[in-house]
Chains A and B, each alone.
Chain A
Amino acid sequence: MTPDREPLDPALGAMLRENSAETPPAHVDAAIMRAAHRAVVSAPRAHSRRPWRLWLPLAAAATVTAVVIGLQSVERQAPEGAPAANVPLKASTEQSATRSDESNAAADAPPPQSPAAATSAPPAAESARQSDAARVTKAQVSQDPRVKEAIERIRAFRRDGRETEAVAALAQLRATVSDADVRLPPDLRAWASTVPR
């Protein structure tokens, strides 16, 4: 009790306390409680409204930012022009180009080689072939006319069973183009890996 809450007249205070039994009637109690409950039930809670109101502009700003960043990254990834023939492209485009190249080559390829030729490549050579395939691109294969011409001749020789001429054509290509094996299509690359330099 604070100093100025000291009872100013204890006897009078005691008499007042003894005669302080008055309470509001039950119907008044009920009316007030009912109004109090109805007020908070019917009214939406202030603290539940505020977060939504606060987050709405933030969510809109985040959406706009995400769209802008997405558009910028798409623009960056779009090709600005044809790459140089001997410039390796990024791995992602290489892999997709290789897949495309493989499917094209399969369509153009002669009937499958003999099982012996297909299985004669050692595992190391096979992994090297796959590694090369990852690096070669369709642009590299098709843009160099010397390579295109050599590929056609090698295919024709092999189709006709003229293995010696095919090996000679490969040797000529290797002499002309430093990374000749890499530029070969997959069907010829597997064969070329068995031909000694």
Chain B
Amino acid sequence: MSVPKPPASAEDETDEALMLAYAAGDASAFDRLYQRHKGALYRYVLRHCANACIADELFQDVWMNVIRVRGRYMPAARFGSWLFTLAHNRIVDHWRVSGQATMVTLDDDDDAAMPTALVSPSHEQPDVLAAASETSARLRTALAALPPLQRDAFLLHQESGLSLAEIGQLTGVGAETVKSRVRYAIARLRAAFPELGEHV
């Protein structure tokens, strides 16, 4: 006699299964999916923008896109990879619209090309700084000072849970390039936080 299989708990359900369930009409599946990924995705967007209002708008756009294209979702890749691809593309669009498109194509490994345009305007910073702790504010400033592609690679590696190879696929470069960008970003962030000591 076969033992009946216990129903999978909410934690056991994969992201892909939840997304398919949502595409089939199960709204509660979206709720669980959203709870799992909203924090990481929001931090990814927020740390790219340094402007909470714009981050809210971009974050909302990404999820609206998920809702809109739910019927075309194919679990060929991990849901997280798909979700962060949508977010990455939305941020690149935002760069283009806001006149920062050229920064995407800069050789971000070149110190001379260090962009500063993504750093929030000074009139925005007091609000941000007041709301966040000193470390958070320093971190945000340091991230904003990174070249976009380095920042993108670093944030994707940090927040999305994707591998370097997956990030490479997502951004259209090789895994070694991603690794190089992440290392450059770490070096610059460490420079902003000397109290962390020497990185071995």
Interface residues of A (CB under 8 A from B): 2, 4-5, 8-9, 11-13, 15-16, 18-20, 22-25, 28-29, 31-33, 35-37, 39-41, 45-48
Contacts and interface: CB of A to CB of B under 8 A. Distances in A.
B149 interface: no
Contact of A4 (B26, B163, B196): B163
Given A23-B39, A45-B24, 11 more contacts: A4-B165, A9-B199, A11-B197, A22-B46, A24-B42, A24-B56, A32-B60, A35-B63, A37-B30, A40-B30, A48-B25
A46 B158 contact: no
Interface residues of B, number: 44
A36 B30 contact: yes
B193 A32 contact: no
Contacts of B157: 8
Nearest to B56: A28
A28 to B, nearest CB: 5
In terms of DSSP, what is the predominant structure of the interface of chain B? Answer: helix
A179 B189 CA distance: 118
A20 B183 CA distance: 20
Contacts of A8: 157, 179, 182-183, 186
> Do most interface residues of chain A lie in helix, strand or loop, or is the interface mixed?
helix
Contacts of B64: 32, 35
22 contacts: A4-B179, A8-B179, A8-B182, A9-B186, A11-B197, A12-B190, A16-B158, A19-B136, A19-B139, A20-B43, A22-B43, A28-B59, A29-B38, A32-B60, A32-B64, A32-B67, A33-B30, A33-B34, A36-B27, A39-B68, A40-B25, A48-B25
